[in-house]
Amino acid sequence: MPGTGPWPLTADRGDGGVLTIGGVAVTDLARDHQTPLWVVDEADLRERCRRYVDGFPGVDVTYASKAWCTVGLLQLVDEEGLLIDVASGGEMHTALLAGVDAAKLIFHGNNKSVEELDRALEVGVGRIVCDSFDELDRLQALAVARDVVAKVWLRITPGIDAHTHEYVRTGHDDAKFGFTLSLGLADDALLHAQKLDHLDVVGIHAHIGSQIFGTDPFIANAEVTLDLMARWRDEHGVTLTELNLGGGMGIRYTHEDHPVEVARYGKAVLETVTERCEALDFPWPRLIVEPGRAIVGPSTITLYEIGTVKPLPGLTTWVSVDGGMSDNIRPALYDAEHEVALASRRSEAEPRSVTVVGKHCESGDLVREHAPLPGDLAVGDLLAVAATGAYTASMASNYNRLPRPAAVMVKDGEVRELVRRETMEDLVRLDVPLR
């Protein structure tokens, strides 16, 4: 397991086979910070930021903070020179609190509120990605009131099927996001926005989906969007200068996943842009990519403690841990699979197939079905679940009134807290008693 497959870069096995991350034994982390616990490998996270920056020379790499948004994480990503995509007032607030320059923020969302848009104008967010005609008009009115000109991108729905889970596809025609190209709405949006004197349309944005393997959908996205920009120059006399190709690069959750290397993806996209710009005689635009999952997903494991082991003869062996769908909804939501390993000791026992479940009152509360784990798995053992940095903590809930876990970041034997564990007081903080 160490440092391979879906496990973070510094994952290793120490004395007695105890899993270590960033040089820290997970048994020490569980003792000092309790479980469930998100453990972020700082070296891995920084390395993934750098691979993106190196793999996309000259491109503005932007971290999609919806993947996981905490003040500390955004500070780290900012230090690595990435811009930050925010998709709500809350994510924007977190980024500002993290000390990120508002000009480095890109504001997304298919239904941004008046308050959110106004705040974006107030603080001077770098780019606002307009998603609908309603929003164009709303933003124009707000920009007039503030006497500012907002720099915007139009979110295009390019008609590309990214062959990924239905819930994370966004580029196909019948999507809730953006202006559908095939229906002529993208053109209508451009023409409409041109009439709004407090909006400056400088580019387009197209994000086709998430957890995408292979480069073909990304290449198709670059081709379709550049063709559109060239056509707008020819037909409408408007030469846009910025192109955001979205995020979506797949990552490894298990040994069966084989995502492309960032460098290969970068090369494929940049070659496509070069060829297409030449063919269309179109000036090279400012390019932006917007990965979330591929930055933060693989850097993190979740540590759980086993509370019960229930072998049903001839049926399933159920292994229950102290968290579940409230800290990782992905298996229940997308049938997602994460690799699981015994983390607190070495075991020579023959592996057997067990189903690891959470402690929630739902049969769908799965951590991993049919996981091959050592046959001597016992109460008190720690399990590590791989690649849980993206869309887990950010989608966490308090279902069954479980306090949300803490998150720590480890590096060279040092542990830093990123998020403190919720307390029982936190859980009832907003409740208003009737008596």
Ligand X SMILES: Cc1ncc(COP(=O)(O)O)c(C=O)c1O
Question: Given the complex with ligand X, which of 321 and 407 has the nearer CB atom?
Answer: 407
Nearest-approach distance from CB 241 to ligand X, in angstroms: 20
Residue type, 216: D
Question: Given the complex with ligand X, which of 64 and 387 has the nearer CB atom?
Answer: 64
Determine the Cα–Cα distance for residues 27 and 286; give it in Å rounded to an integer: 47
Total Cβ atoms within 10 A of residue 210:
28
Determine the Cα–Cα distance for residues 267 and 263; give it in Å rounded to an integer: 6
Residue type, 208: I
Nearest-approach distance from CB 38 to ligand X, in angstroms: 17
Cα angle: 312, vertex 318, 321; to 5 degrees:
155
Nearest-approach distance from CB 83 to ligand X, in angstroms: 12
Question: Given the complex with ligand X, which of 185 and 249 has the nearer CB atom?
Answer: 249
Nearest-approach distance from CB 260 to ligand X, in angstroms: 13
Nearest-approach distance from CB 54 to ligand X, in angstroms: 17
Question: Given the complex with ligand X, which of 21 and 87 has the nearer CB atom?
Answer: 87
Total Cβ atoms within 10 A of residue 280:
16
Question: Given the complex with ligand X, which of 65 and 355 has the nearer CB atom?
Answer: 65
Nearest-approach distance from CB 77 to ligand X, in angstroms: 13
Terminal Cα-to-Cα distance of the chain (whole angstroms) = 54
Instruction: Please identify which of the residues 49, 69, 277, 361 carries the catalytic annotation.
Output: 361
Query: Is 277 an active-site residue?
Result: no
Q: Which residue's entry shows tokens 């739902």?
A: 362
Q: Estimate to the nearest angstrom the gap between the alpha carbon of 253 and the chain centroid.
A: 14
Query: What residue ranges in 340-380 does DSSP mark as E strands?
Result: 340-342, 351-357, 366-374
- 290, 247 Cβ separation under 8 angstroms: yes
Length of the chain (residues)? 435
Question: Given the complex with ligand X, which of 192 and 207 has the nearer CB atom?
Answer: 207
Of the candidates 65, 18, 21, 12, the one whose C-alpha atom is nearest the C-alpha of residue 42 is 21
Tokens of 327: 């800290």
Tokens of 205: 């944005």
Using alpha carbons, list the distances in angstroms from residue 282 to 22, 134, 156, 206, 371: 47, 31, 19, 18, 52
Tokens of 77: 């990503």
Determine the Cα–Cα distance for residues 311 and 333; give it in Å rounded to an integer: 26
Determine the Cα–Cα distance for residues 149 and 140; give it in Å rounded to an integer: 8
Nearest-approach distance from CB 217 to ligand X, in angstroms: 12
Question: Given the complex with ligand X, which of 33 and 293 has the nearer CB atom?
Answer: 293
What residues line the site for ligand X (CB under 6 A)? 64, 66-67, 85, 108, 170, 207, 210, 246-249, 290-294, 390
Bridge partners of 156? 179
Give the DSSP H/E element, type plus range, for residue 31. Answer: helix 26-33
Catalytic residues: 361
